[in-house]
Structure 1
Amino acid sequence: MKISEIKVFVTNPGRNFVTVKVCTDEGVYGLGDATLNGREMAVATYLEEHVAPCLIGRNPQDIEDIWQYLYQGVYWRRGPVTMAAIAAIDMALWDIKGKVANLPVYQLLGGKCRQGVTVYAHANGETIDDTLDKVAECIEQGFKAVRLQTAIPGLKETYGVLGDKKDYFELQGNRPLPPEQEWSTAKYFKLVPELFERARERFGDQVHFLHDVHSRLTPIESAKLGKMLEPYNLLFLEDASIAENQANYELIRQHTTTPLAIGETYNTIWDCKDMIQNQWIDFIRVAATHAGGITGVKKISDFAAVYNVRTAPHGAPDLSPICFAAHAHLNTATHNFGIQEFVGFGNEACQKIFKHDFKLDNGMIIVSDAPGLGVEFDEQQAEQYQYKRSYLPVSRLEDGTLWHW
C-alpha cells in the first residue's frame, strides 16, 4: 500500500475547518483535521506545498516514521503551523490503519480503559443568574461537569459570552479584522467569587465546576484567584496565566490548592515538560489538532502519567469533528484521562459535512466502533461552504495597553 494523493479542503459551515484526506493506491483513505483558528490558509499551504509532495509513494502504515520524518526531519521544528499539518497527516494515517485492520482506533491504542468519555459542558451567561440557569439546563441534560463563565459588569464584552452575536464572524462586523475587547482584573475579581459561591449554594456538590481565566492574569493574580476559589472545590481552573515561562506555574502552585489546567495552545511536549514533571499543573489540555495528532498527544499523555497529571483535551468549536473523534479514541484508551471539553456536535451544516455515530449519553461520549476514526467527509457538501477570513479577538487593558486574549 502506498500514499497516492493528499487532498486539502478548507470549508466554513459556521467555522473554518481545514480537512486533509490521505488517499492510497488500494482505495483506502484517511481523514485528519488541520484547523488553526485565524491562520487556516497558512496550514493549508504548508500541507499542499511542503508536506504532500514528500509523502507520495510512502507506506501509510509507517505512522511513527512518517511522524518523525515530518517533525525531526525538518530544520524548522515545532510551531502551530507545522504541528497542525503533522497532526492532520497523523490522524489520517491512524484512520487508514484502523480501516485496514477493521478495528476502531482505540483498539489499536490498547483498547478501552473506560466505558465512556466524561465530558464537561459550557454555561455562559450575561449575568450570574443567567449562567446558573444554564448550569441547571446542563444538569438536566445529564452533564456531571460544567464550565461557568459570566459577562463582567462594566466591560462591553467578556470571553465566552458573545451577547447578541452568535459567532466571531458577527463579532467582527463588516470589517473582517480582529475585534478588540477591554479587560479589567479588578472588575473580574469582584465577579468570579460571587459566581461560584452562588453556584454552590444553588447546586451543592452534585456537579463539578470549572472556570477558564483565558490567560488574563499575572501569576500572582492567578494565585490570589485560586486561593479565593478554594472553598468552591473546582475540578480545575483553566489557563490562569500565560506560561511561556513555565516557572510561572511554580509561583501559582505555591499559593493555592485549586487544581490547575493548561495547554490548549501547546504544540509539543517541550511546551509543558517542566510544568508536568514538577507537578505544577493537574491537567494537560493539549488538542490533537494542535499538538501533532494522535501520536503527539499520546507521547505527552504517557509522560504526564508518570507525574500524576491527567489529560483534559481542548474541545473548542474551531476543532472539527475529526479532531473530536481523535480525542474520543485517545480518551477511551488513555489510562490517565481526566475529562473532555464538549461544545456539541456542530450545527446542521457541519453535521452534513462530517458524518459520524458518536453518542452523548448521561454526560459521556460513547466512542464509535466503526473501523478507523469513524468519521466520513462529504466533499460535495463541503464545497458549498467557502472559506471566510476570521480572527479571534485582541484584548487591551482599559488604558489601551495590549493584553493577553
Structure 2
Amino acid sequence: MKIEDIKVIVCSPGRNFVTVKIVADSGVIGVGDATVNGREMAVVAYLEEHVIPCLVGRDPQDIEDIWQYLYKGAYWRKGPITMAAIAGIDMALWDIKGKLANLPVYQLLGGRSRAGVNLYAHAGGSDIDDTIDKAQTLVDQGFKAVRLQSAVAGLKTTYGVVGDKKDYYELQGNRPLPPEEQWCTQKYFSMIEALFSEARRRLGSGVHLLHDVHSRLTPIESARLGKMLEPYHLLFLEDASIAENQQSYELIRQHTTTPLAIGETYNSIWDCKDLIQSQLVDYIRAAATHAGGITAMRRIADFAGLYNVRTAPHGAPDLSPICFSAHLHLNTWTPNFGIQEFVGLGNEQIRSVFQQDVMIKDGMAVVSEKPGLGVDFNEQAAQQYPYKRSYLPVSRLEDGTVWNW
C-alpha cells in the first residue's frame, strides 16, 4: 500500500482550521488537524513545500517510521509549525490504520481504561454573579467540572470572557490585525478570591472548579494566588506563569498545594520533561495538534504517568473536531488521564464540515466506535468557508507594556 495523494485544506467555518487529507492507493482516506491559530498558512507552506513531496509513495501503515522521519530527519526540530505539520500527518495515518483494521483508534492504542471521558466546560461572565449563573447552567446540564473566568472590573476586556462578540474576527473589526487588550494584576487580585468564594457558596463542594490565569502572573504572584485559592479546592490552576524558565514552578510549588496545570503551548515531550520529572505540575495539557500527534501524545502520557502527573489535553475552539476526536481516543486509553477541556461541538457551519461521531452525556464524552478517528470531513462544505486571516489578541499592561498572552 502507498500514499497516493496528500491535500491540505484551509477553511473558516467560524474559526480557521488546517486539515490534512491523506489518500492511499487502496482508496482509504485519513484526516488530521494541523491548525496553529494565527499562523495557519505557515503550516500549510511547511506541509506543501517540505513534507508532502517526501511522503507520497510511502506506506501509510508505517506510522512510527514516518513520524521519526519527519522529526529526526529534519535538521530543524520542534517548534509549533513543524510539530503541527507532523501532527496533521500523524493523525491522518492513525485514521487510515484504524480503517484498515476496522477498529477505532483507541483499540489500536491498547483498548479502554475507562467507560467515558470526563469533561470540564467553560463559564465566562461579565461579573462574578454572571459567571456563576453560567456555571450553574452547566452543572444543571450534567457537567461535574467547570472553569470559571470572570471579567475584571476596570478592564475593557478579560481573557476568557468574549462578551457580546461571537469570535475574534468580530473583535478585529474590519482590520485583520491583532486586537489589543489591557491587563492589570492588582485589579485581577481584587476580584479573584471573591469569585471562588461565591462559587463554592452557590455551587457547593461537589463541583470541580478550575481557573486559567493564562500566564498573566509572575511566579511569586502565582504562588500568592495558589495559596489564596487553597480553601476553595480547585481541581487545578492552569498556566499560572510562563514556564520558559521551568524553575519558576519550583518557586510556585514551594508556596501552595493548589494543583497546577500547564502545557497547551508545548510542542514536544522535551518542553515538559523537567516539569514532569520534578513533579512541579499535576496535569500536563499538551494538545495532539500542537505536540506531534497521537504518536507523540502517547509518549508524553506514559512518561507523565511515571511521576503521578495526569493528562488534561488542551481543547480550545481553534482545535478542529478532528483533534477533539483524537483526544477522545487517547483519553479513553490513557491510564493516567485526568480531564478533557470542552468548549462544545461547534456551530452549525463547523458541524457541516466535520461530521463527528461522539456522544456527550452527564459531563462525559463517549468515544466513537467507528473505524479510525470517527470524523468525516466534508471537503465540498469546507470550500464554502474560505480562509480569513485572524489573530489572537495582544496583551498590554495599562502603561502600554506588552505582556504575556
Q: Give the TM-score, by structure 2 length.
A: 1.00
Q: Which amino acid aligns with 1:398?
A: E
Matched with 2:292 is 292
- Is structure 2 residue 173 aligned with structure 1 residue 173? yes
Deviations 1:184-204 (A, max 9, x none): 000000100000000001111
Matched with 2:131 is 131
Deviations 1:109-150 (A, max 9, x none): 000000000000000000100001001100110000000000
SS in 2 for 1:272: helix
SS in 1 for 2:261: strand
- Is structure 2 residue 370 aligned with structure 1 residue 348? no
Deviations 1:304-351 (A, max 9, x none): 000000000000000000000000000000000000000000000100
Aligned positions of 1:156-171 closer than 5 A: 156-171=156-171
Matched with 2:61 is 61
Matched with 1:212 is 212
- Is structure 2 residue 46 aligned with structure 1 residue 34? no
Alpha-carbon separation, structure 2, partners of 1:374 and 1:399: 49
Matched with 1:233 is 233
Deviations 1:259-288 (A, max 9, x none): 000000000011111100000000000000
Alpha-carbon separation, structure 1, partners of 2:162 and 2:136: 20
Off by >6 Å, runs of 4+ in structure 1: none
Alpha-carbon separation, structure 2, partners of 1:309 and 1:106: 21
Give the stretch that moved more between structures: 309-318 or 354-363.
Answer: 354-363
Q: Can you give the 5+ residue segments of structure 2 that lack an aligned partner in the other structure?
A: none
Q: Which amino acid aligns with 2:212?
A: D
Q: Which amino acid aligns with 1:329?
A: H
SS in 1 for 2:22: strand
Q: Which amino acid aligns with 2:244?
A: E
- Is structure 2 residue 223 aligned with structure 1 residue 223? yes
Aligned positions of 1:313-324 closer than 5 A: 313-324=313-324
Alpha-carbon separation, structure 1, partners of 2:283 and 2:356: 28
SS in 1 for 2:336: coil
1:357 offset after TM fit, Å?
A: 1.6
- Is structure 2 residue 272 aligned with structure 1 residue 247? no
Matched with 2:75 is 75
1:164 offset after TM fit, Å?
A: 1.6
Give the count of matched residue pairs.
405
Matched with 1:364 is 364
Task: Name the % identity.
Answer: 74
1:44 offset after TM fit, Å?
A: 0.7
SS in 1 for 2:345: coil
Alpha-carbon separation, structure 1, partners of 2:185 and 2:132: 22
Alpha-carbon separation, structure 1, partners of 2:329 and 2:305: 17
Q: Which amino acid aligns with 1:358?
A: V
Q: Which amino acid aligns with 1:327?
A: H
1:356 offset after TM fit, Å?
A: 1.7
1:29 offset after TM fit, Å?
A: 1.2
Alpha-carbon separation, structure 1, partners of 2:379 and 2:190: 49
1:91 offset after TM fit, Å?
A: 0.2
Matched with 2:85 is 85
Alpha-carbon separation, structure 1, partners of 2:14 and 2:129: 29
Q: Which amino acid aligns with 1:19?
A: T
Matched with 2:51 is 51
- Is structure 2 residue 272 aligned with structure 1 residue 272? yes
Matched with 2:377 is 377
How large is the RMSD of aligned CA atoms in angstroms? 0.5
1:166 offset after TM fit, Å?
A: 1.0
1:163 offset after TM fit, Å?
A: 1.6
- Is structure 2 residue 11 aligned with structure 1 residue 11? yes
Alpha-carbon separation, structure 2, partners of 1:291 and 1:381: 28
SS in 1 for 2:382: helix
1:46 offset after TM fit, Å?
A: 0.6
Q: Can you give the 5+ residue segments of structure 1 that lack an aligned partner in the other structure?
A: none
Alpha-carbon separation, structure 2, partners of 1:393 and 1:291: 23
Matched with 1:142 is 142
Deviations 1:161-212 (A, max 9, x none): 1122111000111111000111000000010000000000111112100000
1:363 offset after TM fit, Å?
A: 0.5
SS in 1 for 2:332: helix
Alpha-carbon separation, structure 2, partners of 1:382 and 1:78: 29
Matched with 1:391 is 391
Q: Give the TM-score, by structure 1 length.
A: 1.00
SS in 2 for 1:159: coil
